[in-house]
């Protein structure tokens, strides 16, 4: 869940700067007036084919207390179940793995991608944000973030400052956030690149437990994240607005996924050992984001592009487009297309070779490997009385991992080492 947490924190910082940018337009409608509470609710379903399933509930409340003094609070609760890829490769014969907790084993059939089907988690996330003007044409925003899972705790604080120019047609913003994350996985954190012990290799339960404990580190570990966001928003004309952001993220601490492993294979492609992964303890990312919105007579076109690069050698490109088309005065449809492409991390390896020895860092997690992904779907909205809105969203997502130039020895050439991940996303939201 660490990757998702990073996205949540970055999203909170982006939301803070967007709130600053969006404040003036709302204020011009009723300057100085206190407004009633506004609420946004949503239920989201995310289901992968034979893998992870997630159900998420969102409740958000916002209020303008007058003179652009705005509070926003959000509660998110989600539950995840299903099977998660471990990183091990498929084999022509059945395989046995030890569960991350050390309590029990599970078997994977011949030719199947190894998945741990005991993946279950519940997350509760709280966000609070306050925005207000401080001087003429200046606004500030500050917020808190708290997220708790069974084995993971994330806390963050953010702040942003925005300055308007050119009769509020130009806005420059600066945002900062700091996050502290702590992880304490069941069974402990694996010793980097240590071998996975199997119960069947030991004469007694006591001998096995001693061997398992030798592969574990006691206590929890943590990481620190510092994010910076510089933004420029420009009203081009009465129909067009454009935004350009630069983001910097510096992460330091425990970045290894304690649930991921690597297969160690011989020249025939047969697995001889299973090792726990190890990642660097720091990561620096840069990203540039561009977005343009164009208001048409019949709707709104929204297109954006993001380029991200980091010192793990992961470079990614994201193209996102939405076109809201008004069907009637009270209904609209919004097609959505998103394309994503990334290169593999420098230490990504789908497997280790017995003859090559152990590297300092290695991970077979497909999420940091080379891949392309796309999302295709639509949203249908109904505008009700008094600013209320009911909307339905349905999307299809497909992720296609690729071979980043690795030779496949022996039997691995006959197996699917990079299976696609397919998912359906459905959401119902209500604003009142």
Return the CATH number of the domain spanning residue range 2-431.
2.40.160
pLDDT tens sequence across 77-100: 999 999 999 999 999 999 999 999
pLDDT band at 72 (very low <50, low <70, confident <90, very high): very high
Mean pLDDT for the stretch of residues 288-300: 96
Mean pLDDT for the stretch of residues 34-49: 95
Distance CA 337, CA 426 (A): 15
pLDDT tens sequence across 218-247: 889 999 999 999 999 999 999 999 999 999
Q: Is the pLDDT of residue 23 over 50?
A: no
The residue ranking higher by pLDDT, 54 or 18, is 54
Mean pLDDT for the stretch of residues 299-320: 98
Q: Is the pLDDT of residue 51 over 50?
A: yes
All residues at 6 or more sequence positions from 252 whose CB lies less than 8 Å from its CB, including other chains: 223, 224, 225, 281, 282
pLDDT at 25: 40
Distance CA 101, CA 209 (A): 11
Residues paired with residue 109 on neighbouring β-strands, in sequence order: none
Domain ranges for the chain, please list them.
2-431
**Both tokens assigned to 319:** 């193209």
Distance CA 135, CA 164 (A): 11
Distance CA 54, CA 238 (A): 41
pLDDT tens sequence across 267-291: 999 999 999 999 999 999 999 999 9
pLDDT at 28: 44
All residues at 6 or more sequence positions from 219 whose CB lies less than 8 Å from its CB, including other chains: 184
Q: Is the pLDDT of residue 328 over 70?
A: yes
Q: Is the pLDDT of residue 13 over 90?
A: no
- Whole-number CA gyration radius for the chain: 24
Long-range contact set of residues 320-329: C-beta below 8 Å, sequence gap at least 24: 323/299, 324/299, 324/300, 325/298, 325/299, 326/298, 326/299, 329/383
Element (H, E) at 210: helix 205-213
- Residue 6 has φ and ψ, to the nearest 5°, of -60, -40
Q: How would you class 25 by CB atoms within 10 Å of its CB: exposed for 0-12, middle for 13-18, buried for 19 or more? A: exposed
Mean pLDDT, the chain, as a whole number? 93
pLDDT at 118: 82
Residue 30 has a CB neighbour count (10 Å cut-off) of 11
pLDDT tens sequence across 367-400: 999 999 999 999 999 999 999 999 999 999 999 9
| Positive or negative: CA dihedral 204, 210, 213, 214 | negative
Give the global pTM: 0.89
Mean pLDDT for the stretch of residues 39-55: 96
7-11, 38-42, 80-84, 127-131: segment of lowest average pLDDT: 7-11
Distance CA 351, CA 48 (A): 24
Residues 62-98 as b or e (16 or more Cβ within 10 Å = b):
bbbeeebebebbbebebebebbbbbbbbbbeeebebb
Q: Which of 64, 8, 95, 41 lies closest to 351, judged by CA?
A: 95
């Amino acid at each position: 869940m660490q990757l998702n947490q990073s996205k949540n924190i970055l999203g909170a910082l982006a939301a803070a700067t967007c709130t600053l940018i969006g404040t003036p337009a709302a204020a011009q409608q009723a300057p100085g007036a206190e407004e009633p509470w506004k609420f946004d609710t949503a239920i989201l379903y995310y289901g992968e084919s034979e893998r992870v399933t997630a159900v998420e509930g969102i409740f958000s409340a916002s209020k303008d207390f007058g003179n652009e003094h705005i509070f926003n609070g959000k509660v998110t609760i989600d539950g995840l179940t299903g099977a998660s890829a471990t990183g091990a490769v498929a084999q022509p014969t059945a395989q046995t793995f030890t569960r991350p907790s050390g309590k029990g084993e599970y078997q994977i059939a011949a030719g199947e991608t190894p998945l741990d089907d005991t993946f279950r988690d519940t997350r509760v996330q709280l966000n609070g944000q306050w925005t207000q003007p401080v001087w003429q044409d200046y606004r500030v925003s500050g917020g808190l973030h708290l997220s708790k899972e069974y084995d993971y705790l994330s806390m963050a604080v953010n702040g942003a400052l925005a300055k308007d120019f050119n009769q509020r047609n130009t806005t420059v913003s600066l945002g900062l956030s700091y996050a502290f994350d702590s992880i304490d996985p069941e069974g402990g954190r694996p010793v980097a690149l240590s071998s996975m012990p199997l119960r069947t290799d030991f004469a007694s339960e006591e001998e096995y437990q001693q061997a398992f404990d030798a592969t574990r580190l006691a206590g929890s570990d943590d990481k620190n994240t510092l994010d910076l966001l510089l933004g420029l928003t420009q009203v081009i004309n009465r129909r067009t607005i454009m935004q350009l952001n630069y983001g910097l993220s510096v992460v330091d601490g425990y970045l290894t996924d304690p649930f991921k492993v690597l297969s160690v294979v011989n020249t025939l492609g047969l697995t001889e050992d299973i090792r726990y992964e190890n990642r660097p303890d720091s990561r620096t990312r840069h990203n540039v984001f561009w977005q343009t919105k164009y208001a048409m007579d019949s709707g709104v076109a929204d297109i954006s592009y993001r380029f991200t690069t980091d010192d793990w050698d992961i470079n990614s490109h994201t193209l996102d487009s939405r076109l809201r088309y008004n069907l009637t005065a009270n209904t609209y449809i919004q097609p959505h297309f998103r394309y994503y492409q990334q290169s593999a991390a420098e230490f990504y390896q789908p497997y280790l070779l017995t003859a090559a020895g152990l590297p300092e860092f290695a991970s077979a997690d497909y999420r940091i490997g080379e891949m392309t992904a796309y999302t295709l779907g639509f949203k249908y909205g109904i505008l009700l009385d008094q600013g209320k809105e009911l909307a339905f969203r349905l999307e299809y997502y497909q992720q296609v991992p690729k071979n980043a130039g690795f030779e496949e020895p022996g039997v691995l050439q006959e197996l699917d080492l990079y299976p696609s991940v397919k998912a359906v996303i459905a959401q119902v939201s209500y604003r009142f």
